[in-house]
Amino acid sequence: MDKNLNQFVQLLNKELRVFLSISFGVFLFVLFFQPFPLDSFDADNRLIFVAGLGTIVFIFMVLVRVGFAWLFQKYNQNDDEILLPPYMGAFAILALSSVAFAFYLRYVGSVNISFYIMIKIILICLALVVILRIHDLVTELKLQNASLKAEKKLVQLQMLKYEENNLNKSIEFVTENNTESLKLLMMDVVFIRSADNYVEIVYKEGDTYKKKLIRNTLKNIELQIKPYSNFIRCHRICIVNTHYIEKLNRNYNTHSLSITGYQEQIPVSRQYLIKLKETI
For residue 191, what is the domain's CATH number? 2.40.50.1020
The model's pLDDT over 205-215, given as tens digits with 9 standing for 90+, comes to 888 999 999 99
Q: Of 97, 131, 160, which residue sits at a domain end?
A: 160
Taking 80 as the threshold, does the pLDDT of residue 8 lie above it? no
Report the pLDDT value the prediction gives residue 134, as an integer from 0 to 100.
93
Residues 47 and 156 in one domain: yes
Residues 142 and 185 in one domain: no
Residues 148 and 194 in one domain: no
Residues 129 and 91 in one domain: yes
The model's pLDDT over 144-194, given as tens digits with 9 standing for 90+, comes to 999 999 988 888 777 777 666 666 778 888 888 878 888 888 889 999 999
pLDDT grade, residue 232 (50/70/90)?
very high
Q: Of 105, 135, 160, which residue sits at a domain end?
A: 160
Q: Of 160, 190, 206, which residue sits at a domain end?
A: 160
Residues 149 and 178 in one domain: no
Higher pLDDT, 250 or 12: 250
Residues 174 and 44 in one domain: no
Q: Rounded mean pLDDT of 30-51?
A: 87
Higher pLDDT, 76 or 139: 139
Residues 154 and 182 in one domain: no
pLDDT grade, residue 230 (50/70/90)?
confident
pTM over 0.85? The answer is: no
Report the pLDDT value the prediction gives residue 189, as an integer from 0 to 100.
92
Higher pLDDT, 216 or 41: 216
Q: Rounded mean pLDDT of 15-26?
A: 91
pLDDT grade, residue 240 (50/70/90)?
very high
Residues 111 and 16 in one domain: yes
Residues 139 and 91 in one domain: yes
One-letter-per-residue 3-state SS of the chain: CHHHHHHHHHHHHHHHHHHHHHHHHHHHHHHHHCCCCCCCCCHHHHHHHHHHHHHHHHHHHHHHHHHHHHHHHHHCCCCCCCCCCHHHHHHHHHHHHHHHHHHHHHHCCCCCCCHHHHHHHHHHHHHHHHHHHHHHHHHHHHHHHHHHHHHHHHHHHHHHHHHHHHHCCEEEEECCCCCCEEEEEHHHEEEEEEECCEEEEEEEECCEEEEEEECCCHHHHHHHHCCCCCEEEEECCEEEEHHHEEEEEEECCEEEEEECCEEEEEEECHHHHHHHHHHC
Q: Which domain holds residue 93?
A: 2-160
The model's pLDDT over 260-279, given as tens digits with 9 standing for 90+, comes to 989 889 999 998 888 888 88
Report the pLDDT value the prediction gives residue 29, as an integer from 0 to 100.
93
Q: What is the mean pLDDT of the chain?
A: 86
What is the number of domains present in the chain? Answer: 2
pLDDT grade, residue 226 (50/70/90)?
confident
The model's pLDDT over 67-83, given as tens digits with 9 standing for 90+, comes to 877 776 666 555 444 45
Residues 7 and 128 in one domain: yes
Residues 201 and 89 in one domain: no
Residues 14 and 132 in one domain: yes
pLDDT grade, residue 114 (50/70/90)?
very high
Report the pLDDT value the prediction gives residue 81, as an integer from 0 to 100.
46
Greatest Cα pair distance, the chain, in angstroms, is 107
List of residues 6+ apart from 16 with CB closer than 8 A:
none
Report the pLDDT value the prediction gives residue 82, as an integer from 0 to 100.
47
